[in-house]
Amino acid sequence: MKRLIIAINEETCIGCGRCVESCPTKALELKDGKAKLKDESLCDGFGSCIAVCPTHSLYLEEREAKPFDWSILQKIDFEEFLDKLVKHYKPKELAQE
């Protein structure tokens, strides 16, 4: 099935692990010093990992992929997820007027 799923630019990934920490469905892992998609069916396509990447190495692409396993959402502690996201997310500074 065609759907939005995370993609990783391995050339610019620095292996900091922020994306792995922020992914509520645990779809990402660090392998050989780079972020990797562990299992397509775990990627929700919402892109919380994109927001925390300091090198902008993650993006969503539409492609053929396994369907998302919606049952995984029942296992997520959303309070813990939001804490992790806030910890790693660094909003861009607003332009000075």
Q: Domain 2-88, CATH 3.40.50.920 — does that match?
A: no
Average pLDDT over residues 87-93: 58
- What pLDDT shows up at residue 50? 93
Burial of 57 (0-12, 13-18, 19+ CB in 10 A): buried
Q: CA distances (Å), 97 to each of 91, 92, 94, in order?
A: 18, 15, 9
Report residue 6's pLDDT band, with 50, 70 and 90 as the boundaries: very high
Residue type at 76? I
- What pLDDT shows up at residue 82? 72
pTM of the shown model? 0.75
Average pLDDT over residues 4-11: 96
Q: Which of 3-7, 9-13, 67-71 has the lowest mean pLDDT?
A: 67-71
Is it the case that residue 69 has pLDDT exceeding 70? Answer: yes
Give domain limits for the chain.
2-88
